[in-house]
Amino acid sequence: MSDGEHALVDTKGKFVQVVSDGRKRNDIEWLPGRILLSNKRLVLATNDGKRTIPLSKVSSVTASQMNQPLAQVDSYIKVQAGRNVTLISAKKADEFQEKLYSTLLDQTVVLINHPAVKGGVVQDGGWEKGRLKLDGDCINLAIASGTFVELDIDDVGTVESKEKTIRGDERPLLEVEHTIEGTSVETHISGTPRHVSLIEGLVRQGEQRNIADDVDLSDKETQVLMALYSGISPFKIPDFVDMEIEEVEDVYDRLMEADILEPVRTRREVQLEARGRSIASDAMADQ
């Protein structure tokens, strides 16, 4: 390896190039081989040779759980570098993905607006510079003003991607919904197209895990969800929605069975799961 280069992951797996120089390939075949990741490049090696992908050229990484039975692949990540796209299924999948994202994103400087929305209410904060670092399934954002934001990927409810004028320039923007101390917030992140694309691939994983399926909720269950989403304390919900305590607790039980709420400390204290926040957000938008 060259000076300053060091190995991060050395594992086996399968891989296939599905787009070459911008053209979709029809003769694709998953190849078994060795997958080596350093802090500068990704090497995919077979008995017939090897292919090197410089990390500086990687513009997006997307994870998929789609089963590929003929190739005996349960999951893979899609890596785009320039006009080429490669699917990679590593045996040490979690370690490989974590190291890849960390190498691509650690110490990246981005623009952050936090909290841009809190309890469904738009806040007056502005954009600040911040530095990003990954710690397992958590994105840590150290903002210049001294605020520190922990964004747990498993806690991500919804993600919106758009373009917006920020500090006088048209920039890509991610609106990421998650929780801080049980309250739904949105953290908005902007930066270069490459960095925003890489961050989007990471936070979308949480969104997909917590996507809200169609759920048939009663009016009372919807009222409770919207109240919790707005930041009302679980202990004040009965008075807020004009329901008896026992009736509210029955609602809690049904919503916990549906993985929409989770208990925190006592029976009557609960907080919304990411799936529940997604449902509550949709319900409020329909009001």
What integer pLDDT is reported at residue 68 of this predicted model?
63
Q: Tell which residue, 86, 98, 80, 8, has the closest CA to residue 50.
A: 86
Domains of the chain: 5-94 (2.30.29.30), 106-210 (2.30.29.30), 215-279 (no CATH)
What integer pLDDT is reported at residue 280 of this predicted model?
74
202 alpha carbon, distance to own chain's centre: 4
Q: Which two tokens stand for residue 47?
A: 């008995």
In this structure, the number of other CB atoms found within 10 A of the CB of residue 78 comes to 16
Q: Does the pLDDT at position 274 exceed 80?
A: no
Reported as a single tens digit per residue, the pLDDT across 60-111 is 999 886 666 656 788 899 999 999 999 999 998 999 999 999 999 999 999 9
What integer pLDDT is reported at residue 10 of this predicted model?
96
> What would the DSSP string read from start to end of 149-209?
EEEEGGG---EEEEEEEETTEEEEEEEEEEEETTEEEEEEEE--HHHHHHHHHHHHHHHHH
User: Before 263, cis peptide (omega within 30)?
Assistant: no
What DSSP character marks residue 259?
T
Of the candidate ranges 6-15, 70-79, 158-167, 238-247, the one whose mean pLDDT is the lowest: 70-79
Reported as a single tens digit per residue, the pLDDT across 180-214 is 887 889 999 999 999 999 999 999 988 777 665 55
Which phi and psi angles does 22 have, rounded to 5°? 85, -5
Rounded Cα distance between 108 and 132, Å, is 5
> What one-letter code names the amino acid at 111?
L
Q: Does the pLDDT at position 235 exceed 80?
A: yes
Which phi and psi angles does 225 have, rounded to 5°? -60, -45
Q: Which two tokens stand for residue 94?
A: 């979690």
Instruction: Look at the chain and count its residues.
Output: 287
